[in-house]
A and B are shown apart, each in its own frame.
Chain A
Amino acid sequence: MNILKEQNGSELVIKLEGRLDTSTSPQLEEELKTALEGVGLLVFDLCALEYISSAGLRVLLSAQKTMNKQGSMVVRGANEDIMEIFDVTGFADILTIE
Protein backbone atom coordinates (compact mmCIF):
# COMPACT_ATOMS: atom_id res chain seq x y z
CA MET A 1 0.00 0.00 0.00
CA ASN A 2 1.14 3.55 -0.72
CA ILE A 3 0.48 6.44 1.60
CA LEU A 4 0.79 9.79 -0.18
CA LYS A 5 0.67 12.91 1.94
CA GLU A 6 0.00 16.40 0.74
CA GLN A 7 0.16 19.17 3.32
CA ASN A 8 -1.40 22.49 2.51
CA GLY A 9 -1.21 24.73 5.54
CA SER A 10 -3.30 23.10 8.20
CA GLU A 11 -4.96 20.87 5.62
CA LEU A 12 -3.52 17.41 5.15
CA VAL A 13 -4.58 15.15 2.31
CA ILE A 14 -3.66 11.50 2.68
CA LYS A 15 -4.08 9.40 -0.42
CA LEU A 16 -4.19 5.68 0.15
CA GLU A 17 -3.37 3.36 -2.76
CA GLY A 18 -3.83 -0.41 -2.79
CA ARG A 19 -4.99 -2.45 0.18
CA LEU A 20 -5.47 -1.22 3.72
CA ASP A 21 -5.48 -4.55 5.53
CA THR A 22 -4.10 -6.25 8.64
CA SER A 23 -0.54 -6.07 7.38
CA THR A 24 -0.59 -2.47 6.10
CA SER A 25 -2.83 -0.81 8.69
CA PRO A 26 -0.07 -0.55 11.33
CA GLN A 27 1.93 1.43 8.76
CA LEU A 28 -0.86 4.03 8.46
CA GLU A 29 -1.41 4.00 12.22
CA GLU A 30 2.28 4.79 12.72
CA GLU A 31 2.17 7.52 10.11
CA LEU A 32 -0.82 9.21 11.75
CA LYS A 33 0.83 9.35 15.16
CA THR A 34 3.00 12.28 14.02
CA ALA A 35 1.33 13.53 10.85
CA LEU A 36 -1.78 14.89 12.57
CA GLU A 37 0.01 17.45 14.67
CA GLY A 38 -1.39 20.91 13.91
CA VAL A 39 -3.74 19.58 11.24
CA GLY A 40 -7.14 21.26 11.15
CA LEU A 41 -8.60 19.39 8.22
CA LEU A 42 -7.70 15.82 7.39
CA VAL A 43 -8.80 14.47 4.04
CA PHE A 44 -8.55 10.80 3.18
CA ASP A 45 -8.51 10.32 -0.57
CA LEU A 46 -9.59 6.72 -1.14
CA CYS A 47 -10.05 6.78 -4.91
CA ALA A 48 -7.09 4.41 -5.38
CA LEU A 49 -7.95 2.22 -2.38
CA GLU A 50 -8.99 -1.25 -3.47
CA TYR A 51 -9.68 -2.90 -0.16
CA ILE A 52 -10.20 -2.01 3.48
CA SER A 53 -10.19 -4.52 6.32
CA SER A 54 -11.49 -4.26 9.87
CA ALA A 55 -8.03 -3.16 11.02
CA GLY A 56 -8.11 -0.39 8.40
CA LEU A 57 -11.52 0.74 9.56
CA ARG A 58 -10.26 0.88 13.12
CA VAL A 59 -7.40 3.18 12.07
CA LEU A 60 -9.86 5.48 10.27
CA LEU A 61 -12.06 5.50 13.38
CA SER A 62 -9.11 6.40 15.57
CA ALA A 63 -8.13 9.23 13.17
CA GLN A 64 -11.71 10.47 13.28
CA LYS A 65 -11.59 10.55 17.08
CA THR A 66 -8.35 12.55 17.00
CA MET A 67 -9.72 15.01 14.45
CA ASN A 68 -12.93 15.42 16.43
CA LYS A 69 -10.77 17.13 19.04
CA GLN A 70 -8.69 19.36 16.74
CA GLY A 71 -10.68 19.94 13.58
CA SER A 72 -12.47 17.80 11.08
CA MET A 73 -11.97 14.80 8.84
CA VAL A 74 -13.39 14.00 5.44
CA VAL A 75 -13.28 10.76 3.46
CA ARG A 76 -13.72 10.92 -0.28
CA GLY A 77 -13.45 8.89 -3.42
CA ALA A 78 -14.34 5.53 -1.90
CA ASN A 79 -15.31 2.94 -4.51
CA GLU A 80 -18.61 1.10 -4.47
CA ASP A 81 -17.34 -1.90 -2.51
CA ILE A 82 -15.77 0.21 0.17
CA MET A 83 -18.86 2.42 0.36
CA GLU A 84 -20.88 -0.71 1.02
CA ILE A 85 -18.50 -1.65 3.80
CA PHE A 86 -18.91 1.81 5.31
CA ASP A 87 -22.67 1.34 5.12
CA VAL A 88 -22.99 -2.10 6.68
CA THR A 89 -20.50 -1.49 9.44
CA GLY A 90 -22.12 1.81 10.40
CA PHE A 91 -19.05 3.84 9.46
CA ALA A 92 -21.13 5.85 7.01
CA ASP A 93 -22.73 7.50 10.03
CA ILE A 94 -19.50 8.11 11.88
CA LEU A 95 -17.34 9.39 9.04
CA THR A 96 -18.00 12.42 6.89
CA ILE A 97 -18.08 10.91 3.44
CA GLU A 98 -18.05 13.07 0.32
Chain B
Amino acid sequence: MGSADQVRTETDHDVDESIEVIRSRILSDITEGIMLIGFNGFIMYANTTASRILGIPEEDMIGHSFASLFFDKPENDEFSQAVIESIYDRERSHDNILTYENGDKSITLRMKTSFYIDGVERKGIIAVFSDVTEFMELQDAVRSMNKIRALNDKLELRNKLLSETFGRFLSDEIVKKLLDTPDGLKLGGEKRTLTIMMSDLRGFTALSERMDAADLIALLNHYLEEMTLAIQKHGGTIIEFIGDGILAIYGAPDYFADHASKAVAAAVEMQSRMPDINKWNEKRGYPPLEMGIGINTGEVIVGNIGSEKRTKYGVAGAAVNMCGRIESYTTGGQILIHPGTKEAIKEDLEISKEITVYPKGAKGELLLSQVIGIGQPYDLHYAHKSKTPDPLLRPAPVCFHRLEGKHKIDKDLFGGIVAVANDRAIFSTDTKMELLDNIVIEAGGDLYCKVLKVQPDGYLIQYTAIPAGYGEWITRYDEAQ
Protein backbone atom coordinates (compact mmCIF):
# COMPACT_ATOMS: atom_id res chain seq x y z
CA MET B 1 0.00 0.00 0.00
CA GLY B 2 2.73 2.30 1.11
CA SER B 3 4.64 1.82 -2.09
CA ALA B 4 1.47 2.28 -4.15
CA ASP B 5 0.81 5.57 -2.35
CA GLN B 6 4.34 6.58 -3.04
CA VAL B 7 4.00 5.79 -6.74
CA ARG B 8 0.79 7.83 -6.92
CA THR B 9 2.41 10.74 -5.21
CA GLU B 10 5.37 10.60 -7.58
CA THR B 11 3.00 10.34 -10.54
CA ASP B 12 0.98 13.30 -9.24
CA HIS B 13 4.16 15.20 -8.81
CA ASP B 14 5.23 14.38 -12.41
CA VAL B 15 1.82 15.37 -13.71
CA ASP B 16 1.94 18.65 -11.76
CA GLU B 17 5.38 19.32 -13.13
CA SER B 18 4.27 18.50 -16.67
CA ILE B 19 1.25 20.78 -16.32
CA GLU B 20 3.53 23.51 -15.05
CA VAL B 21 5.89 23.02 -18.04
CA ILE B 22 2.98 23.05 -20.48
CA ARG B 23 1.54 26.11 -18.78
CA SER B 24 4.80 28.00 -18.96
CA ARG B 25 5.32 26.93 -22.58
CA ILE B 26 1.84 28.14 -23.45
CA LEU B 27 2.43 31.42 -21.67
CA SER B 28 5.77 32.01 -23.35
CA ASP B 29 4.73 30.89 -26.86
CA ILE B 30 1.37 32.57 -26.92
CA THR B 31 1.04 35.49 -29.34
CA GLU B 32 -0.63 37.63 -26.67
CA GLY B 33 1.36 39.61 -24.18
CA ILE B 34 0.44 38.73 -20.60
CA MET B 35 1.28 40.90 -17.62
CA LEU B 36 0.26 40.51 -14.02
CA ILE B 37 0.45 43.54 -11.77
CA GLY B 38 0.35 42.77 -8.11
CA PHE B 39 -1.69 44.72 -5.63
CA ASN B 40 1.51 46.27 -4.37
CA GLY B 41 2.01 47.95 -7.73
CA PHE B 42 4.84 45.65 -8.79
CA ILE B 43 4.82 43.62 -11.94
CA MET B 44 4.69 39.99 -10.87
CA TYR B 45 4.77 38.35 -14.23
CA ALA B 46 5.26 39.25 -17.89
CA ASN B 47 5.71 36.75 -20.73
CA THR B 48 8.21 37.09 -23.59
CA THR B 49 5.54 38.43 -25.93
CA ALA B 50 4.61 41.17 -23.42
CA SER B 51 8.22 42.21 -23.20
CA ARG B 52 8.54 42.24 -26.98
CA ILE B 53 5.32 44.20 -27.59
CA LEU B 54 6.03 46.77 -24.89
CA GLY B 55 9.69 47.09 -25.83
CA ILE B 56 10.89 46.49 -22.27
CA PRO B 57 13.24 43.60 -21.37
CA GLU B 58 11.58 41.01 -19.10
CA GLU B 59 14.10 41.60 -16.35
CA ASP B 60 13.32 45.35 -16.38
CA MET B 61 9.63 44.60 -15.93
CA ILE B 62 9.26 41.77 -13.42
CA GLY B 63 9.72 43.07 -9.90
CA HIS B 64 9.54 46.72 -10.95
CA SER B 65 6.75 49.12 -10.13
CA PHE B 66 4.15 49.81 -12.78
CA ALA B 67 4.43 53.54 -12.06
CA SER B 68 8.14 53.62 -12.85
CA LEU B 69 7.62 51.99 -16.26
CA PHE B 70 4.56 53.50 -17.85
CA PHE B 71 4.09 57.06 -16.59
CA ASP B 72 6.89 58.85 -18.36
CA LYS B 73 5.17 59.53 -21.64
CA PRO B 74 1.76 61.07 -22.07
CA GLU B 75 1.54 58.87 -25.22
CA ASN B 76 1.15 55.86 -22.92
CA ASP B 77 -1.69 57.33 -20.85
CA GLU B 78 -4.18 55.11 -22.66
CA PHE B 79 -2.23 52.01 -21.68
CA SER B 80 -2.07 52.87 -17.96
CA GLN B 81 -5.65 54.11 -18.08
CA ALA B 82 -6.80 50.67 -19.22
CA VAL B 83 -5.19 49.21 -16.07
CA ILE B 84 -6.72 51.91 -13.88
CA GLU B 85 -10.20 51.36 -15.35
CA SER B 86 -10.15 47.76 -14.14
CA ILE B 87 -9.46 48.96 -10.60
CA TYR B 88 -12.32 51.46 -10.60
CA ASP B 89 -14.71 49.04 -12.24
CA ARG B 90 -13.61 45.59 -11.08
CA GLU B 91 -16.84 43.72 -11.77
CA ARG B 92 -16.08 43.16 -15.41
CA SER B 93 -13.12 42.89 -17.74
CA HIS B 94 -12.23 45.82 -19.96
CA ASP B 95 -11.56 45.55 -23.63
CA ASN B 96 -9.70 48.44 -25.23
CA ILE B 97 -8.07 49.39 -28.50
CA LEU B 98 -5.32 51.82 -27.58
CA THR B 99 -2.11 53.32 -28.85
CA TYR B 100 1.19 52.61 -27.13
CA GLU B 101 4.57 54.12 -27.81
CA ASN B 102 7.15 51.39 -28.07
CA GLY B 103 10.49 53.18 -28.31
CA ASP B 104 9.97 55.67 -31.12
CA LYS B 105 7.19 53.87 -32.92
CA SER B 106 3.53 54.03 -32.16
CA ILE B 107 1.63 50.76 -32.20
CA THR B 108 -1.98 49.82 -31.69
CA LEU B 109 -2.82 47.33 -28.96
CA ARG B 110 -5.92 45.43 -28.22
CA MET B 111 -5.83 45.02 -24.45
CA LYS B 112 -8.07 43.18 -22.04
CA THR B 113 -7.63 44.07 -18.35
CA SER B 114 -9.35 42.48 -15.41
CA PHE B 115 -9.19 42.69 -11.66
CA TYR B 116 -7.86 39.44 -10.26
CA ILE B 117 -9.34 38.21 -6.99
CA ASP B 118 -8.42 34.86 -5.48
CA GLY B 119 -11.31 34.08 -3.20
CA VAL B 120 -11.54 37.22 -1.15
CA GLU B 121 -7.93 38.18 -1.60
CA ARG B 122 -7.27 40.94 -4.10
CA LYS B 123 -4.32 39.79 -6.14
CA GLY B 124 -3.91 42.49 -8.75
CA ILE B 125 -4.57 43.20 -12.41
CA ILE B 126 -4.20 40.85 -15.34
CA ALA B 127 -3.50 42.52 -18.64
CA VAL B 128 -3.59 40.50 -21.87
CA PHE B 129 -2.75 42.37 -25.05
CA SER B 130 -1.81 41.89 -28.68
CA ASP B 131 -0.29 44.12 -31.31
CA VAL B 132 -3.03 44.87 -33.85
CA THR B 133 -1.18 47.66 -35.66
CA GLU B 134 -1.09 45.81 -38.97
CA PHE B 135 -4.70 44.85 -38.66
CA MET B 136 -5.69 48.43 -37.88
CA GLU B 137 -3.60 49.69 -40.78
CA LEU B 138 -5.30 47.17 -42.99
CA GLN B 139 -8.64 48.31 -41.69
CA ASP B 140 -7.61 51.91 -42.36
CA ALA B 141 -6.53 50.92 -45.84
CA VAL B 142 -9.86 49.24 -46.45
CA ARG B 143 -11.63 52.28 -45.08
CA SER B 144 -9.52 54.56 -47.28
CA MET B 145 -10.17 52.35 -50.24
CA ASN B 146 -13.90 52.54 -49.62
CA LYS B 147 -13.59 56.29 -49.27
CA ILE B 148 -11.66 56.49 -52.54
CA ARG B 149 -14.24 54.30 -54.19
CA ALA B 150 -17.05 56.54 -52.97
CA LEU B 151 -15.17 59.63 -54.15
CA ASN B 152 -14.58 58.00 -57.50
CA ASP B 153 -18.25 57.20 -57.85
CA LYS B 154 -19.05 60.81 -57.06
CA LEU B 155 -16.47 62.05 -59.53
CA GLU B 156 -17.75 59.73 -62.21
CA LEU B 157 -21.29 60.96 -61.68
CA ARG B 158 -20.06 64.52 -61.84
CA ASN B 159 -18.08 63.88 -65.00
CA LYS B 160 -21.04 62.13 -66.56
CA LEU B 161 -23.24 65.09 -65.75
CA LEU B 162 -20.61 67.42 -67.11
CA SER B 163 -20.07 65.59 -70.33
CA GLU B 164 -23.80 65.20 -70.87
CA THR B 165 -24.28 68.88 -70.27
CA PHE B 166 -21.33 70.21 -72.16
CA GLY B 167 -20.28 67.38 -74.36
CA ARG B 168 -16.66 67.50 -75.34
CA PHE B 169 -16.93 70.99 -76.72
CA LEU B 170 -15.81 73.16 -73.84
CA SER B 171 -12.23 73.95 -73.18
CA ASP B 172 -10.76 72.64 -69.91
CA GLU B 173 -10.65 76.21 -68.69
CA ILE B 174 -14.39 76.68 -68.96
CA VAL B 175 -15.15 73.29 -67.45
CA LYS B 176 -12.91 74.23 -64.51
CA LYS B 177 -14.67 77.56 -64.15
CA LEU B 178 -18.05 75.87 -64.13
CA LEU B 179 -16.85 73.36 -61.55
CA ASP B 180 -15.49 76.13 -59.36
CA THR B 181 -18.77 78.01 -59.50
CA PRO B 182 -21.13 76.28 -57.08
CA ASP B 183 -24.13 77.28 -59.17
CA GLY B 184 -22.42 76.33 -62.40
CA LEU B 185 -24.74 73.46 -63.11
CA LYS B 186 -27.97 75.11 -62.03
CA LEU B 187 -30.80 75.36 -64.48
CA GLY B 188 -31.61 78.74 -65.89
CA GLY B 189 -30.18 81.28 -68.20
CA GLU B 190 -29.30 84.90 -68.48
CA LYS B 191 -29.65 87.58 -71.11
CA ARG B 192 -26.36 88.45 -72.66
CA THR B 193 -25.10 90.14 -75.79
CA LEU B 194 -22.70 87.85 -77.58
CA THR B 195 -21.72 86.60 -81.00
CA ILE B 196 -23.27 83.53 -82.60
CA MET B 197 -21.69 81.48 -85.36
CA MET B 198 -23.27 78.88 -87.59
CA SER B 199 -21.45 76.89 -90.20
CA ASP B 200 -22.65 74.36 -92.69
CA LEU B 201 -21.20 72.26 -95.47
CA ARG B 202 -22.51 73.03 -98.89
CA GLY B 203 -24.38 70.16 -100.50
CA PHE B 204 -23.77 67.81 -97.62
CA THR B 205 -27.23 66.25 -97.74
CA ALA B 206 -26.63 65.12 -101.32
CA LEU B 207 -23.14 63.96 -100.39
CA SER B 208 -24.47 61.90 -97.51
CA GLU B 209 -26.84 60.08 -99.83
CA ARG B 210 -24.12 58.73 -102.06
CA MET B 211 -21.27 58.09 -99.63
CA ASP B 212 -20.65 54.95 -97.65
CA ALA B 213 -21.75 55.49 -94.03
CA ALA B 214 -18.35 54.65 -92.52
CA ASP B 215 -16.54 56.94 -94.96
CA LEU B 216 -19.04 59.67 -94.31
CA ILE B 217 -18.47 59.46 -90.55
CA ALA B 218 -14.67 59.45 -91.03
CA LEU B 219 -14.90 62.49 -93.28
CA LEU B 220 -17.28 64.31 -90.95
CA ASN B 221 -15.31 63.52 -87.79
CA HIS B 222 -12.07 64.78 -89.28
CA TYR B 223 -13.75 67.93 -90.49
CA LEU B 224 -15.55 68.61 -87.18
CA GLU B 225 -12.37 67.93 -85.20
CA GLU B 226 -10.49 70.56 -87.20
CA MET B 227 -13.33 73.05 -86.84
CA THR B 228 -13.56 72.42 -83.09
CA LEU B 229 -9.88 73.22 -82.70
CA ALA B 230 -10.25 76.47 -84.63
CA ILE B 231 -13.32 77.52 -82.64
CA GLN B 232 -11.85 76.68 -79.24
CA LYS B 233 -8.58 78.39 -80.11
CA HIS B 234 -10.48 81.67 -80.24
CA GLY B 235 -12.52 81.09 -77.08
CA GLY B 236 -15.66 79.81 -78.74
CA THR B 237 -18.10 77.44 -77.08
CA ILE B 238 -19.64 74.83 -79.31
CA ILE B 239 -23.30 74.48 -78.45
CA GLU B 240 -23.99 71.62 -80.82
CA PHE B 241 -23.18 69.79 -84.02
CA ILE B 242 -26.22 69.37 -86.20
CA GLY B 243 -25.08 66.84 -88.77
CA ASP B 244 -22.43 68.75 -90.65
CA GLY B 245 -23.46 72.06 -89.12
CA ILE B 246 -21.93 73.72 -86.09
CA LEU B 247 -23.56 76.18 -83.70
CA ALA B 248 -21.02 78.03 -81.58
CA ILE B 249 -21.09 81.12 -79.40
CA TYR B 250 -18.45 83.60 -78.29
CA GLY B 251 -18.75 85.42 -74.95
CA ALA B 252 -20.39 82.70 -72.82
CA PRO B 253 -20.11 81.02 -70.40
CA ASP B 254 -16.81 82.86 -70.13
CA TYR B 255 -17.48 86.49 -71.01
CA PHE B 256 -15.10 88.57 -73.08
CA ALA B 257 -15.92 91.94 -74.64
CA ASP B 258 -14.29 91.21 -78.02
CA HIS B 259 -16.61 88.31 -78.82
CA ALA B 260 -17.40 89.61 -82.32
CA SER B 261 -13.71 89.88 -83.29
CA LYS B 262 -12.94 86.45 -81.90
CA ALA B 263 -15.84 84.87 -83.75
CA VAL B 264 -14.67 86.37 -87.06
CA ALA B 265 -11.08 85.36 -86.36
CA ALA B 266 -12.24 81.81 -85.70
CA ALA B 267 -14.32 81.81 -88.89
CA VAL B 268 -11.33 82.94 -90.97
CA GLU B 269 -9.21 80.27 -89.34
CA MET B 270 -11.89 77.66 -90.04
CA GLN B 271 -11.98 78.60 -93.70
CA SER B 272 -8.19 78.60 -93.95
CA ARG B 273 -8.13 75.03 -92.60
CA MET B 274 -10.37 73.84 -95.43
CA PRO B 275 -7.64 73.35 -98.09
CA ASP B 276 -5.79 70.95 -95.76
CA ILE B 277 -9.00 69.15 -94.92
CA ASN B 278 -9.67 68.70 -98.61
CA LYS B 279 -6.14 67.39 -99.21
CA TRP B 280 -6.80 64.85 -96.46
CA ASN B 281 -10.10 63.97 -98.16
CA GLU B 282 -8.50 63.66 -101.57
CA LYS B 283 -5.91 61.19 -100.25
CA ARG B 284 -8.72 58.92 -99.09
CA GLY B 285 -10.83 59.37 -102.19
CA TYR B 286 -13.40 61.50 -100.38
CA PRO B 287 -15.02 64.44 -102.17
CA PRO B 288 -13.88 68.01 -101.40
CA LEU B 289 -15.92 69.99 -98.88
CA GLU B 290 -17.02 73.59 -98.94
CA MET B 291 -18.26 75.42 -95.92
CA GLY B 292 -20.27 78.57 -95.42
CA ILE B 293 -20.26 80.50 -92.15
CA GLY B 294 -22.82 83.00 -90.88
CA ILE B 295 -22.11 85.28 -87.93
CA ASN B 296 -24.45 87.50 -85.93
CA THR B 297 -24.08 89.60 -82.80
CA GLY B 298 -27.03 90.26 -80.53
CA GLU B 299 -28.84 89.66 -77.28
CA VAL B 300 -29.64 86.05 -76.50
CA ILE B 301 -30.65 83.87 -73.58
CA VAL B 302 -27.77 81.64 -72.64
CA GLY B 303 -27.45 79.01 -69.92
CA ASN B 304 -28.52 75.55 -68.88
CA ILE B 305 -31.74 74.93 -70.71
CA GLY B 306 -33.88 71.85 -70.33
CA SER B 307 -35.44 69.79 -67.59
CA GLU B 308 -33.98 68.81 -64.21
CA LYS B 309 -33.12 65.39 -65.60
CA ARG B 310 -31.54 66.49 -68.79
CA THR B 311 -30.00 69.90 -69.15
CA LYS B 312 -27.93 71.29 -71.91
CA TYR B 313 -25.87 74.40 -72.12
CA GLY B 314 -27.70 76.25 -74.86
CA VAL B 315 -28.52 79.53 -76.50
CA ALA B 316 -31.84 80.89 -77.72
CA GLY B 317 -33.34 84.05 -79.15
CA ALA B 318 -34.11 85.96 -82.33
CA ALA B 319 -30.39 86.66 -82.86
CA VAL B 320 -29.77 82.91 -83.10
CA ASN B 321 -32.49 82.47 -85.73
CA MET B 322 -31.08 85.43 -87.66
CA CYS B 323 -27.63 83.83 -87.60
CA GLY B 324 -29.15 80.75 -89.22
CA ARG B 325 -30.63 82.91 -91.99
CA ILE B 326 -27.32 84.66 -92.62
CA GLU B 327 -25.64 81.26 -92.87
CA SER B 328 -28.22 80.14 -95.43
CA TYR B 329 -27.14 82.98 -97.75
CA THR B 330 -23.54 81.77 -97.84
CA THR B 331 -22.01 79.83 -100.66
CA GLY B 332 -19.04 77.51 -100.24
CA GLY B 333 -15.99 79.18 -98.76
CA GLN B 334 -17.89 82.27 -97.67
CA ILE B 335 -18.12 84.04 -94.34
CA LEU B 336 -21.04 86.44 -94.08
CA ILE B 337 -21.42 88.72 -91.09
CA HIS B 338 -24.31 90.85 -89.81
CA PRO B 339 -23.86 94.66 -89.76
CA GLY B 340 -24.12 94.47 -85.95
CA THR B 341 -21.09 92.16 -85.83
CA LYS B 342 -19.17 94.43 -88.18
CA GLU B 343 -19.94 97.40 -85.96
CA ALA B 344 -18.71 95.57 -82.86
CA ILE B 345 -15.31 94.85 -84.38
CA LYS B 346 -12.54 97.39 -83.78
CA GLU B 347 -9.93 95.56 -85.81
CA ASP B 348 -9.53 96.05 -89.56
CA LEU B 349 -11.76 93.76 -91.55
CA GLU B 350 -10.97 92.60 -95.04
CA ILE B 351 -14.30 92.65 -96.78
CA SER B 352 -14.43 91.26 -100.30
CA LYS B 353 -18.00 92.29 -100.99
CA GLU B 354 -21.29 93.31 -99.48
CA ILE B 355 -24.56 91.57 -100.20
CA THR B 356 -28.02 92.99 -99.64
CA VAL B 357 -30.53 90.41 -98.48
CA TYR B 358 -34.12 90.49 -97.33
CA PRO B 359 -34.37 87.89 -94.61
CA LYS B 360 -37.49 86.92 -92.75
CA GLY B 361 -37.55 88.48 -89.29
CA ALA B 362 -35.53 91.53 -90.35
CA LYS B 363 -37.03 94.97 -90.88
CA GLY B 364 -36.37 95.56 -94.54
CA GLU B 365 -33.03 94.90 -96.13
CA LEU B 366 -29.85 93.78 -94.48
CA LEU B 367 -26.34 94.48 -95.71
CA LEU B 368 -24.17 91.46 -95.07
CA SER B 369 -20.39 91.68 -95.39
CA GLN B 370 -18.35 88.90 -96.87
CA VAL B 371 -15.20 88.75 -94.74
CA ILE B 372 -11.95 87.17 -95.91
CA GLY B 373 -9.61 88.49 -93.24
CA ILE B 374 -9.19 90.28 -89.91
CA GLY B 375 -6.27 92.55 -88.99
CA GLN B 376 -3.99 92.75 -85.95
CA PRO B 377 -3.74 91.29 -83.38
CA TYR B 378 -5.28 88.31 -85.23
CA ASP B 379 -3.84 88.97 -88.67
CA LEU B 380 -5.74 86.10 -90.27
CA HIS B 381 -6.66 85.89 -93.93
CA TYR B 382 -7.75 83.22 -96.30
CA ALA B 383 -7.90 82.95 -100.05
CA HIS B 384 -11.44 82.73 -101.31
CA LYS B 385 -10.85 81.68 -104.90
CA SER B 386 -13.45 82.47 -107.51
CA LYS B 387 -12.23 81.39 -110.92
CA THR B 388 -13.97 82.77 -113.93
CA PRO B 389 -15.76 79.97 -115.76
CA ASP B 390 -14.36 78.97 -119.18
CA PRO B 391 -16.92 78.77 -121.99
CA LEU B 392 -17.73 75.28 -123.23
CA LEU B 393 -17.38 74.42 -126.89
CA ARG B 394 -21.13 74.08 -127.01
CA PRO B 395 -23.78 74.65 -124.34
CA ALA B 396 -24.92 71.65 -122.33
CA PRO B 397 -28.71 71.52 -122.43
CA VAL B 398 -30.24 70.54 -119.10
CA CYS B 399 -33.47 70.08 -117.22
CA PHE B 400 -33.52 71.71 -113.78
CA HIS B 401 -35.74 72.30 -110.77
CA ARG B 402 -35.99 74.98 -108.17
CA LEU B 403 -35.35 74.02 -104.57
CA GLU B 404 -37.45 75.14 -101.68
CA GLY B 405 -35.55 74.31 -98.55
CA LYS B 406 -34.25 70.87 -99.40
CA HIS B 407 -37.21 69.88 -101.53
CA LYS B 408 -37.30 69.87 -105.31
CA ILE B 409 -40.25 71.69 -106.85
CA ASP B 410 -41.78 69.32 -109.40
CA LYS B 411 -42.06 71.70 -112.33
CA ASP B 412 -39.45 70.92 -115.06
CA LEU B 413 -37.46 73.94 -116.14
CA PHE B 414 -34.90 74.12 -118.95
CA GLY B 415 -31.62 75.85 -119.54
CA GLY B 416 -28.03 75.32 -120.59
CA ILE B 417 -24.60 75.37 -119.00
CA VAL B 418 -22.44 77.60 -121.13
CA ALA B 419 -19.21 78.01 -119.16
CA VAL B 420 -17.64 76.04 -116.29
CA ALA B 421 -15.01 76.42 -113.55
CA ASN B 422 -14.21 73.87 -110.87
CA ASP B 423 -16.77 75.31 -108.46
CA ARG B 424 -19.09 77.38 -110.57
CA ALA B 425 -20.70 77.79 -113.98
CA ILE B 426 -22.56 80.21 -116.21
CA PHE B 427 -26.11 79.04 -116.65
CA SER B 428 -28.39 80.33 -119.31
CA THR B 429 -32.18 80.05 -118.96
CA ASP B 430 -35.34 81.91 -119.78
CA THR B 431 -36.61 81.20 -116.27
CA LYS B 432 -36.39 84.26 -114.06
CA MET B 433 -34.23 83.56 -111.02
CA GLU B 434 -33.31 85.60 -107.95
CA LEU B 435 -29.93 85.99 -106.33
CA LEU B 436 -29.16 83.11 -103.94
CA ASP B 437 -31.94 80.92 -105.34
CA ASN B 438 -31.15 77.24 -105.06
CA ILE B 439 -31.60 74.93 -108.00
CA VAL B 440 -30.82 71.33 -108.85
CA ILE B 441 -29.65 70.57 -112.41
CA GLU B 442 -29.76 67.12 -114.03
CA ALA B 443 -26.12 66.94 -115.14
CA GLY B 444 -24.68 63.44 -114.83
CA GLY B 445 -26.66 63.25 -111.55
CA ASP B 446 -28.11 65.94 -109.31
CA LEU B 447 -25.95 69.06 -109.50
CA TYR B 448 -26.98 71.41 -106.69
CA CYS B 449 -26.31 75.08 -107.31
CA LYS B 450 -26.89 78.51 -105.86
CA VAL B 451 -27.39 81.64 -107.95
CA LEU B 452 -24.54 84.05 -107.23
CA LYS B 453 -24.92 86.79 -109.75
CA VAL B 454 -26.97 87.85 -112.75
CA GLN B 455 -24.60 88.52 -115.67
CA PRO B 456 -25.20 89.55 -119.29
CA ASP B 457 -24.30 86.02 -120.46
CA GLY B 458 -26.53 84.26 -117.92
CA TYR B 459 -26.61 83.42 -114.23
CA LEU B 460 -23.36 82.78 -112.37
CA ILE B 461 -24.13 79.68 -110.31
CA GLN B 462 -22.01 78.07 -107.62
CA TYR B 463 -22.05 74.33 -107.18
CA THR B 464 -23.16 73.33 -103.70
CA ALA B 465 -23.05 69.59 -104.41
CA ILE B 466 -21.48 67.91 -107.39
CA PRO B 467 -22.60 64.40 -108.47
CA ALA B 468 -19.91 61.81 -109.17
CA GLY B 469 -20.79 61.65 -112.90
CA TYR B 470 -20.70 65.40 -113.48
CA GLY B 471 -17.08 65.69 -114.62
CA GLU B 472 -17.43 63.03 -117.29
CA TRP B 473 -20.83 64.31 -118.31
CA ILE B 474 -19.75 67.93 -118.81
CA THR B 475 -16.55 66.98 -120.66
CA ARG B 476 -18.69 65.75 -123.57
CA TYR B 477 -19.71 69.33 -124.26
CA ASP B 478 -16.13 70.54 -124.25
CA GLU B 479 -14.72 68.04 -126.73
CA ALA B 480 -14.51 68.44 -130.48
CA GLN B 481 -17.09 66.24 -132.15
Contacts and interface: CB of A to CB of B under 8 A. Distances in A.
A22 interface: yes
Contacts of B65: 89-90, 93-94
A58 B88 contact: no
B80 interface: yes
A57 interface: yes
Contact of B39 (A51, A55, A88, A91): A88
A72 interface: no
B111 to A, nearest CB: 13
Contacts of B79: 54
Interface string A70-81: 000000000001
Interface stretch (B67-75, B297-305, B337-345): B67-75
Given A54-B84, A61-B71, A93-B41, A88 B77 contact: no
A85 B87 contact: yes
Contact of A81 (B40, B80, B88, B124): B88
B71 A58 contact: yes
Contacts of B41: 86-93
Given A58-B77, A94-B65, A87 B40 contact: yes
A29 to B, nearest CB: 9
Where chain B touches its partner, the secondary structure class is helix
B366 to A, nearest CB: 80
Contacts of A87: 39-41
A90 B81 contact: no
Interface in B49-85: 65-68, 71, 74, 77-81, 83-84
Contacts of B68: 90, 94
Nearest to A55: B77
B439 interface: no
B84 A85 contact: yes
B443 interface: no
B74 A55 contact: yes
Interface in A43-87: 51, 53-55, 57-58, 61, 81, 84-87
A55 B40 CA distance: 20
B84 A53 contact: yes
Contacts of A51: 88
A88 B124 contact: yes
Interface in B70-120: 71, 74, 77-81, 83-84, 87-88
B78 to A, nearest CB: 8
Nearest to A26: B74
Contacts of B78: 54
B264 to A, nearest CB: 71
A82 to B, nearest CB: 10
Contacts of A91: 41, 67
B361 to A, nearest CB: 76
A51 B77 CA distance: 15
B386 to A, nearest CB: 89
B74 to A, nearest CB: 6
A73 B88 CA distance: 25
Contacts of A22: 77, 81
B286 interface: no
B125 A53 contact: no
Most B-side CB within 10 Å, residue of A54, A55, A93: A54
Most A-side CB within 10 Å, residue of B39, B41, B83: B41
A79 to B, nearest CB: 12
A54 B81 CA distance: 5
Interface string A33-50: 000000000000000000
B74 A90 contact: no
B42 interface: yes
A13 to B, nearest CB: 23
A51 B89 CA distance: 12
B81 A88 contact: no
B339 to A, nearest CB: 77
A23 B67 CA distance: 21
Interface string A3-37: 00000000000000000001000000000000000
A50 to B, nearest CB: 11
B37 interface: yes
Given A22-B77, A54-B80, A90 B87 contact: no
Contacts of B40: 87, 90, 92-93
A18 B391 CA distance: 114
A61 B84 contact: no
Interface of B: 37, 39-42, 65-68, 71, 74, 77-81, 83-84, 87-88, 124-125
Interface of A: 22, 51, 53-55, 57-58, 61, 81, 84-94
19 contacts: A22-B81, A54-B78, A54-B79, A57-B67, A57-B84, A58-B74, A61-B67, A81-B88, A84-B87, A87-B40, A87-B41, A88-B39, A88-B124, A89-B80, A90-B41, A91-B67, A92-B40, A93-B41, A93-B67
Given A89-B80, A94-B65, 19 more contacts: A22-B77, A53-B77, A53-B84, A54-B71, A54-B78, A55-B77, A57-B67, A58-B71, A81-B87, A84-B87, A85-B87, A87-B39, A89-B65, A89-B67, A90-B65, A90-B66, A90-B67, A91-B41, A91-B67
Q: Which 6 A-B pairs have the closest CB atoms?
A: A90-B41, A90-B65, A54-B80, A90-B67, A54-B81, A90-B66
